[in-house]
Amino acid sequence: MKNYFTRLFTYDAWANRQMNGLIAQYGEPQQARGWMAHLLAAQQIWLKRCQGLPAPPGPLWPDKESTEMAGIITQNETDWLVYIETLQPEDFDKVITYKTLKGDGFENTLADILAHVINHGTHHRAQIGQQVKQLGAKLPPLDYVLYIRDLHKTTI
């Protein structure tokens, strides 16, 4: 599972870079910036939860420009990949106990949390894509399988 989640988080950062580039190219639309900034803040919060640490300071919906978000995308990718590299196979089934920002307690397996982080990013990238498409953007193909094919240059 370590290799699988490493690929997913690398893909996630690649897809975030694609959409952040469109945010920059199409005039920094506020709502699109908000979704991307939220996606990135949530990644940081979830990483701290997985590590058993308190949430980082700052809002869940920060106001960031695309240039600042570009650096955060890279930092989040690095932080998640370093964390995943420390995991043992049995860690993916470990139950993580955490509190939401509202203080409600929950438990989920680490594998389910990792899947959630990736799906959360996909959800918000779709929202960003819809907004920049309305501004005239041609959306890049962001399907995971296309990323993997390109990564491995696999053809028949």
Q: What is the pLDDT of residues 89-138, one digit of tens each?
A: 999 999 999 999 999 999 999 999 999 999 999 999 999 999 999 999 99
pLDDT at 38 over 90: yes
Known binding-site residue numbers: 38, 120, 124
Read off the pLDDT band of 154 (50, 70, 90).
Answer: low
Known binding-site residue numbers for a divalent metal cation: 38, 120, 124
Q: Point out which residues pair with 107 in neighbouring strands.
A: 97
Residues found in the chain: 156
pLDDT attached to residue 49 = 98
Q: What angle do helix axes 30-51 and 66-85 make, rounded to 10 degrees?
A: 20
Q: Point out which residues pair with 115 in neighbouring strands.
A: none
Domain count along the chain: 1
Domain region containing 53: 2-152
Q: Give the CATH number for residue 75.
A: 1.20.120.450
CA-to-CA distance for 3 and 57, rounded, in angstroms?
A: 30
The tens digit of pLDDT for each residue in 46-101 reads: 999 999 999 999 999 999 999 999 999 999 999 999 999 999 999 999 999 999 99
Residue 95's Cα: distance from chain center in Å?
21
